[in-house]
Amino acid sequence: MTNTKLFLKGLLSATALTALSAGTAFAGGTTAGTTVTNTFTLDYNVGTTPQTQVTGDTPTTFVVDRLIDVNVAPNAGTSVAPSAQDQPLSFTLTNEGNDDQGYVLTAANVAAGDDFDASNLVISYVVDTNGDGINNDGAPVVYNGTSTPDIAPDQIVFVTIEGDIPAATQGQTSDITLLAETAVTGGSGTLVTEDTDGNDNAAVENVFADAAGDVTGDVAEDGSHSATNTYTVSTADITAEKLVSIFAEVPNATNDCAIIPGTPAPQTNDQDDQYAIPGACVEYTITATNTGAAAANSIDIADTLPDNLTFVAASATGFLDGASAPAGSFTTLPTANQDCFATPCVVEYTGGELQDGSGTPTTGVVTIRAILASSKP
């Protein structure tokens, strides 16, 4: 990003040049305030006779000006759920100048072009004190609204904006900008100003070299920089259906109603169909499907069986957590062979999960088996 604008004082040249003082090299160049002094020697002959060396009586001297160059870059956007709170968006701020600086930070919703605004925006930051480029330097500090601490040349600040998400829908987005304005050191929040009265070899003057940013009015070489990051709503999309079928017209030892899934034996008179006659094994299946881009958790499926049934068994398949392990359990279940007329038969499966189904739908099934009463309840 560093602008090619000249920020060093003019350097005089001669037959020989010797730098008597030099600063540390940074991305922004030699450190501001470094004094650069040089002189020269001149040797000559008259005919073939060497003459006395000529030297500069007064060395030339200038001090290095202060390059103001800040860069704000967004990290990966954040996938959020509708109505979620304190959702983070992360940015990286880098001091690409050649002197310590503080920064005034501002977070804002983009005015147009997205779908919703996040609310209650809060800025926090972590200074990369160990210089490894990794956000591992302690807990975030909530921004005080005035200025960051002093940031050294090439040093990084990891900035996080947290916001609350409204009741948005799948795929909707919210764009958030972070503006960093360069401030003087000491934490006062006073913004730096650019020198406008011409070059002075004896003074350290501010020279702006930042690029234009995303925020309206954030032009190049204004001492600030801004970038945009995005919340994207990802939510589950659950549908469910319940089907009933006759598992076995006449259950027996080989096609026991309690064996799920099991294989029913064909009935005697019709090899293709099973009929709902008294004593038949009835099977209910409740199928939940997620086609959304986020996992659905805390799924609760409850079913109260009709009173002309006798409960036999229940099972659940397909409800898996993020590690593909079974999720959920039957928290309410009738006892085997419970008469649903005498005591209501409530089947409830809680804690189920269905993972992201945006690519391939994810499905969970609760299966319930019961015997159709042989006498009127």
Residues 213 and 277 in one domain: no
Count of other CB atoms within 10 angstroms of residue 89: 26
**In the numeric block, which tokens belong to residue 295?**
């996992």
Contact of 226 with 179, CB cutoff 8 Å: yes
**Co-location of 188 and 329 in the same domain:** no
Q: Is 265 helix (H, G, I), strand (E, B) or coil?
A: coil
The range of the structural domain enclosing residue 167 comes to 70-199+206-233
Tell me how many domains the chain contains. 2
At residue 274 the predicted structure's pLDDT band, cuts being 50, 70 and 90, is confident
3-class DSSP string for 140-179 = CEECCCCCCCCECCCCEEEEEEEEECCCCCCCCEEEEEEE
Q: Residue 177 belongs to a domain with what CATH number?
A: 2.60.40.10
The whole-number pLDDT of residue 270 equals: 61
Considering the domain architecture, whether residues 124 and 223 belong to the same structural domain is answered as yes
CATH number at residue 349: 2.60.40
The encoded tokens of residue 362 equal 């994810």
What are the C-alpha distances in Å from 41 to residues 18, 38, 47, 97, 139?
Answer: 10, 11, 20, 34, 57
Give the domain-ending residue among 191, 216, 233.
233
**295 backbone φψ class: left, alpha, beta (φ>0; ψ -120 to 50):** beta
52 part of a folded domain: no
Q: Which residues contact 136 (CB under 8 A, 6 or more apart)?
A: 130
**Are 222 and 273 in the same domain?**
no
pLDDT tens for residues 80-135? Answer: 999 999 999 999 999 999 999 999 999 999 999 999 999 999 999 999 999 999 99
Reported as a single tens digit per residue, the pLDDT across 197-216 is: 888 999 999 999 999 999 99
- Span of 13-17, 189-193, 240-244 with lowest mean pLDDT: 13-17
Alpha-carbon Rg for the chain in angstroms: 37
Query: For position 197, what pLDDT does the model report?
Result: 87
Residue 46, in any domain of the structure = no
Nearest to 327 by CA among 362, 360, 284: 362
d(CA 263, CA 253): 11
pLDDT at 332 over 90: yes
Indicate if 319 and 299 belong to the same structural domain. yes
pTM across the whole model:
0.74
Whether 174 is in a domain gets the answer yes
pLDDT in tens, 32-65: 999 999 999 999 999 999 999 999 888 999 999 9
Is position 11 within any domain?
A: no
Judge if 185 and 327 occupy the same domain: no
pLDDT band per the 50, 70, 90 thresholds, residue 7: very low
Residue 315's identity, in one-letter code, is S
Q: Residue 25 domain-assigned? A: no
User: Can you read off the two tokens belonging to residue 336?
Assistant: 């085997």
Local confidence band at 271 (pLDDT 50, 70, 90 cut-offs): low
Q: Higher confidence at residue 20 or residue 207?
A: 207
Predicted confidence band of residue 300 (pLDDT cuts 50, 70, 90): very high
Instruction: Tell me: do 181 and 313 sit in the same domain.
Output: no
Encode pLDDT of 120-178 as tens digits: 999 999 999 999 999 999 999 999 999 999 999 999 999 999 999 999 998 999 999 99
CA distance 329 to 316: 8
Examine residue 227 and state whether it is found in any structural domain, yes or no.
yes
Predicted confidence at residue 4, as pLDDT, reads 34
Q: Is the domain of 242 the same as that of 229?
A: no
The pLDDT assigned to 264 comes to 78
- Residue 269 is predicted with a pLDDT of 60
Q: Are residues 247 and 227 both part of a single domain?
A: no
Q: Is 363 part of a structural domain of the chain?
A: yes
Query: 338 Cβ partners below 8 Å, 6+ apart?
Result: 310, 311, 345
For residues 227 and 115, membership in a common domain is answered with: yes
Q: Which stretches of 156-308 are assigned E, i.e. beta strand?
A: 156-164, 173-183, 206-208, 224-233, 238-248, 281-290, 296-304
Helix, strand, coil percentages for the chain (3-state, nearest 5): 0, 40, 60
CA dist 268 to 73, 249, 274, 371, Å? 74, 10, 10, 19
| Residue 57, domain member (yes or no) | no
Half-sphere CA count of 282, side-chain side, radius 13 A? 19
Longest dimension (CA), the chain: 137
Same-domain pairing of 249 and 218: no
Relative to beta strand 156-164, strand 78-80 is unpaired
Q: How confident is the model at residue 244 (pLDDT cuts 50, 70, 90)?
A: very high
Question: Minimum mean pLDDT among 66-80, 201-215, 260-274: which range?
Answer: 260-274
Nearest by Cα to 240 from 281, 324, 294, 300: 300
Write down the residue that tokens 């990084």 correspond to: 156
Cα–Cα separations (whole angstroms), residue 243 to 101, 284, 302, 324, 337: 68, 6, 15, 26, 22
Q: Are residues 211 and 86 in the same domain?
A: yes
C-alpha distances out from residue 140 to 57, 137, 263, 284, Å = 56, 9, 59, 52
